[in-house]
Amino acid sequence: MKKIALVHSHDEPIYGEMARHTPAGFETVGVDVRAPLAEQVAAARGAEYLILSGTELPDEVLRACGPGLLQILSAGWDYLNLDLVREMEVPVANNGGANSWAVADHAVLLILAVYHRLIESDAAVRAGRWREPLDGTNAFELAGKTVGLLGMGAIGRQVARRVRAFDARVAYCDPVALPSDLESELSAVRTGIDDLFASSDVVSIHVPLVEETRHLVSRRLIGTMRPTAVLVNTARGALVDEGALIEALAEGRIAGAGLDVFEAEPIDPGNPLLGMSNVVVTPHSAGTNWDAWSRRASFGYANVARFDRGEEPLGLVSI
């Protein structure tokens, strides 16, 4: 049987739920990155394939198995040691949008939480301050608003479908235009990045982090946003100039933000974002839920089997 090393940091039942998708003719060996490095290397040695569930892959583990395919279960790959991956000439595939449902749900959750001042209202009710955060002027609905999507891949498309159900308009910026029938289905209008930021009520970010996109959401772009606009980021923290965002929020030049990702993670407890009532934060958890584990694992294992049959893997990324 061919050996697949599943590199992870999960307890049961998550590990078991993922490993149950192992195809016939393969066996899965767990490589728990919480174990001593020597144990990780021993477990991985000789594996033909490697599936990575998480953002930690010790170089020694990668070298120990020299996999035919490195299958990651995230959408992004910026956390990999790309120099080593290139040196070893290991092809890398991402999750092919398998977590797009989870991330899209979370993006909409953040939009609604900011619009309805959910966190403040919850805290006020628990403290006996009935309706205190709401004055009739500071909560909003999505209907009639323009949601600008920076990136229209699998996740962006799922977000578009969801906000259309709230009667919002959809604009998007992506180097590749959607097919005309899909644009019609999503009622999505393609525009340039400057117009997207200047004209949208909500900007939601859905692009990968590569060198060209670092701080893509720059001080200049943030400066073009409306005072009533909200920025949502469920992609990668370094896509945004965080210092510029903090200044814009503190000075009231934009209305709020919903952030699942940050430039430094875990976020520093002293980060000014944590003290802002117009910011909703979550711990880089948008793609993490019970349904997503199974969907991501099912895709990843099937992709390994596809590659083993000599077929082109889905979700192959250019590094």
Residue bearing tokens 């323009």: 146
Task: State the Cα–Cα distance between residues 231 and 215, nearest whole angstrom.
Answer: 14
Catalytic-labelled residue, pool 10, 206, 236, 296: 236
Catalytic-labelled residue, pool 106, 284, 295, 296: 284
Please, what's the b/e burial string for 158-168 (b: 16 or more CB within 10 A of its CB; e: otherwise)? bbbebbbeeeb
Residue 53, classed as helix, strand or coil, is coil
Q: Is 236 a catalytic residue?
A: yes
Q: Is 284 a catalytic residue?
A: yes
Which residues have CB under 8 Å from 237's CB, separation 6+?
Answer: 259, 261, 262, 263, 264, 265
Q: Which amino acid is at 167?
A: D
Listed in order, strand segments (DSSP E) in 25-180 are 26-32, 49-52, 70-72, 92-93, 146-150, 169-173
Which residues pair with residue 146 across a beta bridge? 169
Which residues have CB under 8 Å from 283's CB, separation 6+?
Answer: 260, 266
Q: Which amino acid is at 122?
A: D
Q: Residues 117, 134: contact at Cβ < 8 Å?
A: yes
Task: State the Cα–Cα distance between residues 291 and 98, nearest whole angstrom.
Answer: 10
Q: Residues 145, 203: contact at Cβ < 8 Å?
A: no
Residue bearing tokens 């943030």: 222
Catalytic-labelled residue, pool 60, 141, 265, 311: 265
Q: Is 212 a catalytic residue?
A: no
- Cα Rg of the chain, angstroms: 21
Q: Residues 84, 59: contact at Cβ < 8 Å?
A: yes
Tokens of 170: 């959809």
Tokens of 110: 């953040």
Active site residue ranges: 236, 265, 284
